A and B are shown apart, each in its own frame.
Chain A
Amino acid sequence: MADGDALLRLEDVHTDIGRYRILHGVDLEVRRGRVTMLLGRNGAGKTTTLRTIMGLWHARQGRILFAGRPIEGLATPDIARLGVAYVPENMGIFGKLTVRENLLLASGPKGLAQERLERVFACFPALKTKWDAAAGLLSGGQKQMLAIGRAIVEPRQLLVVDEPTKGLSPAMVEHFIAALLALKEEQTTLLLVEQNFRVAQQMGDDVAVMDQGRIVHRGPMQALVGDEELQQRLLGLSLGAAG
């Protein structure tokens, strides 16, 4: 991987939660305009890695560079303002606010730009019909649409999404794959945590696999897709079983 391509780079990142060390020297690179999938078993440290990138938990050691600038000491709002959108595992929807208000919060000081809004509606038409509904009343899939929609309602350099297809029906998963692939075609840089390997291999250009707080494999997604033994060793599955 060429160094100049890296939009986000983690170097030897260690993170503690309370008295426990969760990340033990994570090295990760997210290249500009590509989709990087972060895979690993439950408890491997994927969510902690995303939260550390966002400054929600601070790295105890190591460096995090975004567009060449160190961000490990910045507060979460300052990281977000650099152009990083984050969708947490629980989607982070404000249930008491309407769909419109949820999107408005993610927009700039001038409010919602019609052109960006049309783009969100093009990806997720259901949001248009639920415009004035309380977000808490949406279905799980619609909430995830809103969470992703909120992340793309303003231009961002990087989208960090934690398990976008978790708990969704197969039809809804297909919908999300299509939406995320549309983002990929627009050269949006994405870092996705995904448990479903079938989904991951459809979307990912690059892959990093975590185990016990470390990156144990990095490389092109195609290399992992083509190596069932590696899948078995790293993820405890084969593509056939996952599909």
Chain B
Amino acid sequence: MSDAWRQRLNEWSPYAVTPLLVLAALPAMGFGPWLTLTVAGLTMGMMLFLMASGLTLIFGLMDVLNFAHAAFITLGAYVAVTVLGLIGGWAQADALGPNLAALLVALLCAAAASGALGFVFEQVIVRRVYGAPLLQILITMGALIVIEQLVIVVWGPNALPLPKPPSLRGSLLVGTSPIESYRLVALCVGLVIALLMHFVLTRTRLGLLVRAGVEDREMVEALGYHVRRLFIGVFVAGTALAGMGGMMWAQYQTLVTSQVGDSMTVLVFIILIIGGLGSVGGCFIGAILVGLTSNYIEFLSPKLALGSDILLMVLVLMWRPRGLFPVAAH
């Protein structure tokens, strides 16, 4: 086999992991549970992708390890509670149209609030610690605590209910397999956003700059582009996506606590590592892998479920120590 073919095989083989996992799970559980769990895993993967994709770009482009990312997830969830409360007529109507419209408004508000806070956060805090990883960890961890406490001040310390809209509470039957309606909506929303991101990253000059910047920031600057300005935009978009992910996840859980972001942090970092730092495509596949694996393992071997994500990460890193699709050269 020539070197070029070996290199191509090496590049493309990670794409086969997800289909192989899905196919391998089928004989182990039978078609009915397999379909339900596959849809559940894909949905969870989409929500995780929303939360993680911004973080991977932020790290890839500027080497910034933002441990406060969880705060933007939390903020998105709480904003959803407020917005869905304000438009309760739509959210609790017995019709699909108003229900979906309410979700869309909540999603956009969550994105706007998290993005706006992300802008302030970048300008006030992150820009002071470029190139200083230890300070980044300290200051973003500190900011995470402060933002979470502020959330408690504004929304109170108690968990808040976030009931699903009536038309999204039930399940659809596909054959004998029940598929939750909300999961289908979340799956569609995640897919649309992922496709939009894919379009921006692969079909626009802005996306080209982001991809190039993740690979070699210095060279992009030497070509005449201010990566610093680009990064502000990426940071805002990344935090807005985190807010969207937080909103979708909270709605799925039907309960919001100030720890909602924290509880996702480990998963988000596992996805970044599995996918390869800086790679949005890797993040997408990593998120789906994590979603599917945790659903399959929870069904097949509940005792293993607690450690399934770590186990998955270990296996991936043993195969590809820099993740499935490493981009960032750091």
**Is the CB–CB distance between B224 and A77 below 8 Å?**
yes
Q: Least Cβ distance of A140 to chain B in Å?
A: 13
Which residues from B are CB-within-8-Å of A101? 208, 212
A106 touches B223 (CB 8 A): yes
Would you call B31 an interface residue if the criterion is a C-beta within 8 Å of the partner chain's C-beta atoms? no
Which of B73-81, B104-112, B178-186, B214-222 forms contacts with chain A? B214-222
Asked whether any CB of chain B lies closer than 8 Å to the CB of A137, the reply is: yes
B211 interface residue per 8 A CB criterion: yes
* B4 close to chain A: CB less than 8 A: yes
Report A175-203 residues with CB < 8 Å from chain B CB: none
Instruction: Determine if A97 and B218 form an interchain contact, defined as CB atoms under 8 angstroms apart.
Output: no
Query: Max chain A CB contacts within 10 Å: which of B209, B215, B222, B225?
Result: B222
Per-residue CB contact flags for chain B residues 6-37 toward chain A (1 = under 8 Å, else 0) read: 01100000000000000000000000000000
Please indicate the chain A residues that have their CB under 8 angstroms from the CB of B4 in the complex: 137
Interface centre among A76, A86, A88, A137 (most CB of B within 10 A): A76
Contact between chains at A105 and B212 (CB < 8 Å): yes
B-contacting residues, A57-91, CB 8 Å: 75-77, 80-81, 86, 88
Question: A94 touches which one: B8, B205, B215, B225 (CB < 8 A)?
Answer: B215
Q: Is the CB of A80 within 8 A of B226?
A: no
Distance A4 CA – B211 CA, assembled complex (angstroms): 42
Docked Cα-Cα span, A137 to B11, in Å, equals 11
B70 within 8 A of A: no
- Proximity bits, A130-168, B CB within 8 Å = 1, else 0: 000000010000000000001000000000000000000
CA distance A188 to B208 in the complex (A): 29
Main secondary structure of the interface of B (DSSP, over half): helix
B61 at the interface (CB under 8 A from A): no
Inter-subunit contact A75/B221 (CB<8 Å): yes
Interfacial chain B residues near A220, Cβ < 8 Å: none
In the bound complex, do residue A97 and residue B208 qualify as a contact, i.e. CB atoms below 8 Å apart?
A: yes
Q: Give the residue of A76, A94, A137 whose beta carbon is less than 8 angstroms from that of B216.
A: A94
B-chain residues with CB within 8 Å of residue A137 when the two chains form the complex:
4, 7-8
Distance in angstroms from B125 CB to nearest chain A CB is 22
CB < 8 Å neighbour of A104 from B208, B219, B224, B225: B208
Q: Which of A111-137 contact B (CB under 8 A)?
A: 137
Tell me, in angstroms, the Cα distance from A92 to B217 when the chains sit together.
Answer: 10
In the docked arrangement, what's the CA distance between A181 and B219, Å? 25
Chain A residues within an 8 Å CB radius of B215: 94-97
Among candidates A54, A81, A96, residue contacting B211 with C-beta atoms closer than 8 Å: A96
Contact check, A80 vs B224: say whether CB atoms are below 8 A apart: yes
Q: CB-CB < 8 A to B218: which residues of A?
A: 56, 76, 92
Interface size class, chain B:
20 to 34
Asked if B57 lies at the interface with its beta carbon under 8 angstroms from chain A, I say: no
Instruction: Kindly state whether residue B327 has any CB partner on chain A within 8 Å.
Output: yes
> Which residues from B are CB-within-8-Å of A105?
208-209, 212, 220, 223, 225
Given contacts A97-B208, A105-B208, A105-B209, contact A86 B222 (CB under 8 A): yes
With A101-B208, A104-B208, A105-B212 known to touch, is A96 a contact of B327 (CB < 8 Å)?
Answer: yes
Assuming the contacts A75-B221, A137-B4, A137-B7, asked whether A97 and B212 have C-beta atoms less than 8 A apart, the reply is: yes
Q: Which B residue's beta carbon lies closest to that of A56?
A: B218
Cβ-defined contact, A77 with B226, below 8 A: yes
A94 near B219: Cβ-Cβ < 8 Å: yes
Q: Which residues of B contact A88 (CB under 8 A)?
A: 219, 222
Q: A97-B212, A101-B208, A105-B208 are in contact. Are A92 and B7 (CB under 8 A)?
A: no
Q: How far is the CA of A69 from the CA of B208 in the complex (A)?
A: 32
Chain B residues in 8 Å Cβ range of A96:
211, 215, 327
Contact A80 B221 (CB under 8 A): yes
How far does the alpha carbon of A76 sit from the alpha carbon of B4 in the complex, in Å?
35
Nearest-CB residue, chain B, relative to A83: B224
Residues of B within 8 Å of A106, CB to CB, are: 223
B7:A80 contact, CB within 8 angstroms:
no
A76 vs B216: C-alpha distance when bound (angstroms): 14
Q: How far is the CA of A76 from the CA of B209 in the complex (A)?
A: 16
Q: Interface readout for A34-60 with B: 1 if CB under 8 Å, 0 if not?
A: 000000000000000000001010000
Smallest CB–CB gap between A212 and chain B, Å?
A: 26
User: Whole-angstrom distance between the alpha carbons of A96 and B227 in the complex?
Assistant: 18
Contacts of B7 in A (CB 8 A): 137
Chain B residue contacts of A104, Cβ below 8 A:
205, 208
Nearest A residue to B213 via CB reads A94
> Which of B212, B215, B219, B227 is most buried by chain A, counting CB atoms within 10 A of its CB?
B219
* Shortest Cβ-Cβ A-B pairs, 5 listed: A92-B219, A80-B224, A76-B221, A86-B222, A81-B224
Besides the known contacts A75-B221, A104-B208, A105-B209, 17 further A-B residue pairs in the complex with CB atoms under 8 A apart? A56-B218, A75-B226, A76-B218, A76-B222, A77-B225, A80-B224, A81-B224, A92-B222, A94-B212, A94-B216, A97-B211, A101-B208, A104-B205, A105-B220, A137-B4, A137-B7, A137-B8
Interchain residue pairs with CB less than 8 A apart (17): A56-B218, A75-B226, A77-B221, A77-B223, A77-B225, A81-B224, A94-B215, A95-B215, A96-B211, A96-B215, A96-B327, A97-B208, A97-B215, A105-B208, A105-B209, A105-B220, A106-B223
